[in-house]
Chains A and B, each alone.
Chain A
Amino acid sequence: MLRYILKRALSLTLSLVVASLVIFVLIEVIPGDTASFMLGLNATEEAVANLRAELGLDGTALERYLSWTGGMLRGDFGISYTYRVPVSELILDRLWVSLPLAVFALLLSSLIAFPIGLIAAANRGRLADYGIIGGTQLGIAVPNFWFAMLLVLVFAVKLQWFSAGGFPGWSTPGAALKSLLLPSVALALPQAAILARVMRSALIETLSQDYIRTARAKGLSRRQAVLRHALRNALIPVLTIIGLQFSFLLAGAIIIENVFFLPGLGRLIFQGITQRDLIVVESVTMLLVFAVILVTFLVDIAYAVVDPRLRRR
């Protein structure tokens, strides 16, 4: 077991190094000089040179790479070019929007997907099943930013139940929660459709297993067999997908955050790119990649604990 964990940890470290190199190189080749961009056309050469030194932009590429990665290891993500505050502060601020948004969207999509997937699997081949399959097909096909626009049109413009965007901050928790509701619904819908399909097929798979037949032969009703035996086993693939969706929601909310003007991580990256605040882009992207790689690592370990056969892979 220890050997397996060490091997996975080594592969995790390698992945992180390669990922940081890829991000660094991508940012390096973005054309244009940050310092002269920030100071405008009329800046003197001396001012540009001073700013470059201040931002840590002079030195060779290798030196800059090492100082960037070394800093991150110590929790120092650099200083934002435009905001002039530590990037770690910006990230923490934005995390308070992105994290709750991702959690709400995930909760919402699970709440929708679980019963729907269960009903479809329990009624396989009947009208309810076909209806649900059709509905989830539709849900997957809807672009979430378009759905978000419709939500704004109906609930913010026509009914005026919600504001069309913005975030009031957590000092007013009620208003903050309310402003995250429409965005989480917009994010949750396509995710719920995917999750319901996974739930359905996982349940159908487990329902065909021998132990379900045994349970039924013991006299359990169909309903009892599903709830007591099938559901628990079907949850494994479902949880894997939920794990993947969580990291997707954290990073993939860029467009939804833009539609609703939410100050989240995605919007931070997007603004960083347009304002050429490259250190923000670099560090936030790295953090997101780290989160995904770490989740994958933990899932691998958890599986190996549960299923010893996987350790020898």
Chain B
Amino acid sequence: MKHIPISLLLGAALSSVFLLAAGLSLIWVPYDVESLSIADRLQASSPAHWLGTDQFGRDLASMLMVGARTSIAVALVAVGIGITIGVPLGLAAAANRGSVLDEVIMRGNDLIFAFPSLVIAILITAVFGPSALNAIIAIGIFNIPVFARVARGAALSLWTLDYVLAARVSGKGKARISAEHILPNIGNLLIVQATIQFSLGILAEAALSYVGLGAQPPTPSWGRMLAEAQTMIYTHPMLAILPGVTIILMVLGLNLMGDGLRDALDPRLRRARQ
């Protein structure tokens, strides 16, 4: 890869800031985010509190760091669910193109797409109680058909190629061909899609925790920081602006990275640019 797209560099740099902040929060945060200190409430930015404090006296920078951990963990595991269930389904559908199995998998996909995702996410969290885990499940379910569709579409075109035919002639079964020959060749596409779903997951987690259905207090999350800031927005708009900008930058970073990866990994586009 001689030519690395600027968007990839920019996106990777932006996302790693948050990944690092989230990682750092595991071992160190400037202030404890679970202890309230009313004496320090609503402070402006200062050397002691870089981004100021909220109405409970919690340090905003620390909350954003721990919030990054929540958001990233939820979105990442949700992507994991989508890949581990969706990709095998997509591969199986492609390997048995036109069969009943293919039809059932694809119609099942359409069906999940037909459900209004937010409504179902709210239903799921209402059934099992709001928590980060249920937010993960709710977001993860809607990742399954996305990955199944991408995997199936990419795999279908590979099944017509000579080297796959050669593998078939040599006596390998469909499952083995899918794992050994198809999967490695659709990896690029899956990585690009994973980046996109990751960023959508961050937005979905923010929306769910904004309405109180994500991670529960006292665990900070970006969405709930926004919800808590809503009543203070007239007097202290920064409380709402900072988490919002944080979400935007994280999602922007991931999307830029996805775009850049697609350009870098797709040989057709690379040739077109040269």
- Whether chain B is bound by chain A comes out as yes
**Residues of the B chain whose Cβ atoms lie less than 8 Å from the Cβ of A254:** 118-119, 122, 211
Contact A149 B116 (CB under 8 A): no
- Pairs across A and B, CB under 8 Å, 9 listed: A18-B111, A29-B127, A141-B249, A150-B240, A254-B211, A255-B207, A269-B122, A273-B126, A292-B114
Whether A26 and B237, one on each chain, are in contact in the complex, defined by CB atoms closer than 8 angstroms, is: no
Contact status of A140 and B226, CB under 8 A, knowing A29-B127, A273-B126: no
- Answer whether A251 and B116 are a contact pair too, CB < 8 Å, given A141-B251, A145-B207: yes
**A141→B207 contact, CB < 8 A:** no
Complex alpha-carbon distance, A31 and B199, angstroms? 33
What 1/0 flags go to A25-42 for Cβ under 8 Å of B?
A: 011011100000000000
Judged by DSSP, the binding face of A is helix
Least CB distance from A266 to B in Å reads 8
Name the B residues within 8 Å of A18 (CB-CB): 111
Known: A146-B247, A247-B116. 8 other contacts (CB 8 A): A26-B124, A31-B127, A145-B210, A145-B226, A252-B116, A266-B119, A269-B119, A292-B114
9 interchain residue pairs of minimum CB distance: A251-B116, A141-B251, A146-B244, A141-B252, A292-B114, A273-B126, A141-B248, A293-B114, A30-B127
Interface status of B255 (Cβ within 8 A of chain A): yes
Chain A residues closer than 8 Å to B251, beta-carbon distance: 140-141
Chain A residue with the shortest CB-CB distance to B245: A146
Query: Knowing A149-B233, A255-B210, A273-B122 touch, does A289 contact B114 (C-beta < 8 A)?
Result: yes
Whether B127 contacts A15 by the Cβ 8 Å rule is: no
Q: Are A141 and B110 in contact (CB under 8 A)?
A: no
Residues of A near B117 (CB, < 8 A) are 252
Contacts A141-B248, A149-B230: A270 and B122 contacting too (C-beta < 8 A)? yes
Chain A residues whose C-beta falls within 8 Å of the C-beta of B194 in the assembled complex: none
The residue in chain A whose Cβ has the minimal distance to the Cβ of B227 is A145
B123 within 8 A of A: yes
**Which residue from A15, A157, A255 sits with its C-beta under 8 Å from B107?**
A15
| A53–B258 CA distance with the chains assembled, in angstroms | 55
Q: Which residues of A contact B206 (CB under 8 A)?
A: 143, 146
Residues of B within 8 A of A137 (CB): 252, 255-256, 259
CA distance A232 to B226 in the complex (A): 42
Given contacts A149-B226, A153-B233, contact A281 B114 (CB under 8 A): no
For A28, the closest partner residue in chain B by CB is B127
CA distance A146 to B107 in the complex (A): 35
1/0 contact string of A273-291 vs chain B (CB within 8 Å): 1100000010001001100
Q: In whole angstroms, how far apart are the Cα atoms of A153 and B249 in the complex?
A: 21
A145 to B212 CA separation, bound complex (whole angstroms): 14
With A and B bound together, what is the CA distance between A15 and B127 in angstroms? 23
Distance in angstroms between the alpha carbons of A293 and B117 in the assembled complex = 14
- Across the interface, which residues of A come within 8 angstroms of B118, CB to CB? 251-252, 254-255
Closest-by-CB residue of B relative to A136 is B255
* Interface membership of A296, Cβ < 8 A: yes
- Does residue B137 face the partner (Cβ distance < 8 Å to A)? no
Contacts of B248 in A (CB 8 A): 138, 141-143
Closest to B204 in A: A143
Q: Which residues of A contact B115 (CB under 8 A)?
A: 19, 22, 285, 289, 292
CA distance A34 to B206 in the complex (A): 30
User: Does A50 lie at the interface of the complex (its beta carbon under 8 Å from any beta carbon of B)?
Assistant: no
Give chain A interface residues in 92-149, CB to chain B under 8 Å. Answer: 137-138, 140-143, 145-146, 149
Contact (Cβ within 8 A) A15 B226: no
Q: How far is the CA of A172 from the CA of B249 in the complex (A)?
A: 41
Contacts of B207 in A (CB 8 A): 143, 145, 255
Judged by a CB distance under 8 angstroms, whether B203 is at the interface is: yes
Highest count of chain A CB atoms <10 Å: which of B111, B207, B210, B233: B111
Q: Which of B122, B126, B233, B255 contacts A141 (CB 8 A)?
A: B255
Say how far A301's CB is from chain B's closest CB, in angstroms. Answer: 15
**A233 interface contact, C-beta 8 A:** no
Q: Does A248 contact B (CB under 8 A)?
A: yes
A296 with B203: in contact, given A138-B252, A270-B211 (CB under 8 Å)?
A: no
Alpha-carbon separation in the docked complex, A285 to B116 (Å): 8
Is A214 located at the chain interface by the 8 A CB criterion? no
Contact B226 A141 (CB under 8 A): no
Q: Nearest chain-A residue to B117 (Cβ)?
A: A252
| A292 and B126 alpha carbons, distance in the complex (Å) | 23
A206 interfacial by beta-carbon distance below 8 Å: no
- Chain B contacts for A31, CB-based, 8 A: 127
B110 CB → nearest A CB, Å: 7
* CB of A152 within 8 Å of the partner chain: yes
